[in-house]
């Protein structure tokens, strides 16, 4: 092969190598100040949503602020229906209160493995801590009664009452009352929580955030939360969750 043929091949090799390096490393020099994202999650005892705001401390580390709201269901909850009537709302026998966890938190978000190309995936970890506010709303049921005093259907009248495990049995519960009933009687139980997670970002553009996050959350309260009537209630809660996030970097 003569020198005239070697020169174009050599130049082509240099250009290709330069382009490859730009594809792999170009995004590492892009600097952002903030990250804003929101998402939905499913966890071992329910589901929820969160919103987060991150401020970059370095190119690979953020100070993270997050607000998360989730429901919490006892593993002992079993939906029941009044079989004497059709089209009635199901209820959970023995459930005293519905629980909602509100978690404001602060922490860090740091890269473990950064992206090597725009089509790649970065692996990050998050560590958050903050208070937990458990909002417990009392359960209301529709209760049937008869003029002869018997506690069996068919009922003559149906009234809405706060669930009382000593007075309300399978035989006189017609169904669940509207969800918002009792919202003004909500009690708030303070506690603390910590959350650790692995975050996998996969967006193919620099300024868009798309991520899947796997988290472990631990909540602790000063006393047991009165959720169920006929089983032991909890003071400490441990949940695993999967979170889908979408946001922007600026």
Determine the structural domain holding residue 197 and report its residue range.
32-249
pLDDT digits (tens, 9 = 90+) for 144-172: 999 887 878 999 999 999 999 999 999 99
Beta strands 173-176 and 187-201: pairing type? unpaired
pLDDT at residue 196 tops 50: yes
Whether 87 and 179 share a structural domain: yes
Average pLDDT of span 23-46: 79
Residue 140: pLDDT band with limits 50, 70, 90: very high
* pLDDT of the residue at 116: 75
Residues 97-138: pLDDT tens digits?
A: 999 999 999 999 999 998 877 778 999 999 999 999 999 999
Mean pLDDT of the chain: 89
- DSSP string of 63-124, one letter each residue: EEEEEEEEEE--TT--EE--TTSSSPPPEETTB-EEEEEEEEEEEEEEEEE--SSTTS-EEE
Residue 120: what pLDDT? 85
Instruction: State whether 59 and 160 are in the same domain.
Output: yes
* Count of domains for the chain: 2
Q: What is the CATH number of the domain that holds 37?
A: 2.40.160.20
pLDDT band at 30 (very low <50, low <70, confident <90, very high): low
137 plus 20 within the same structural domain: no
């Amino acid at each position: 092969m003569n020198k005239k043929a070697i020169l174009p091949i050599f130049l082509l090799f240099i250009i290709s190598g330069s382009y490859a390096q730009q594809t792999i490393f170009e995004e590492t020099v892009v600097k952002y100040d903030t990250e804003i994202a929101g998402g939905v999650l499913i966890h071992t005892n329910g589901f929820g949503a969160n919103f987060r705001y991150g401020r970059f401390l370095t190119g690979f580390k953020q100070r993270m602020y997050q607000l998360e709201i989730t429901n919490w269901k006892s593993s002992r909850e079993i939906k029941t229906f009044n079989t004497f009537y059709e089209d009635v709302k199901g209820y959970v026998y023995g459930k005293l209160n519905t629980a909602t966890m509100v978690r404001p938190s602060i922490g860090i978000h740091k890269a473990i493995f950064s992206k090597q190309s725009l089509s790649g995936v970065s692996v990050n970890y998050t560590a958050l801590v903050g208070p937990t506010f458990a909002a417990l709303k009392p359960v209301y049921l529709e209760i049937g009664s008869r003029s002869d005093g018997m506690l069996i259907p068919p009922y003559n009248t149906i009234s809405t009452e706060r669930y009382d495990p000593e007075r309300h049995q399978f035989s006189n519960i017609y169904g669940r009352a509207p969800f918002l009933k009792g919202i003004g009687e909500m009690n708030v139980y303070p506690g603390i929580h910590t959350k650790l997670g692995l975050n996998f970002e996969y967006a193919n553009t620099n300024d868009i955030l798309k991520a899947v996050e796997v988290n472990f959350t631990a909540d602790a309260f000063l006393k047991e939360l009165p959720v169920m009537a006929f089983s032991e209630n909890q003071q400490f809660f441990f949940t695993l969750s999967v979170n889908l996030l979408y946001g922007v970097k600026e």
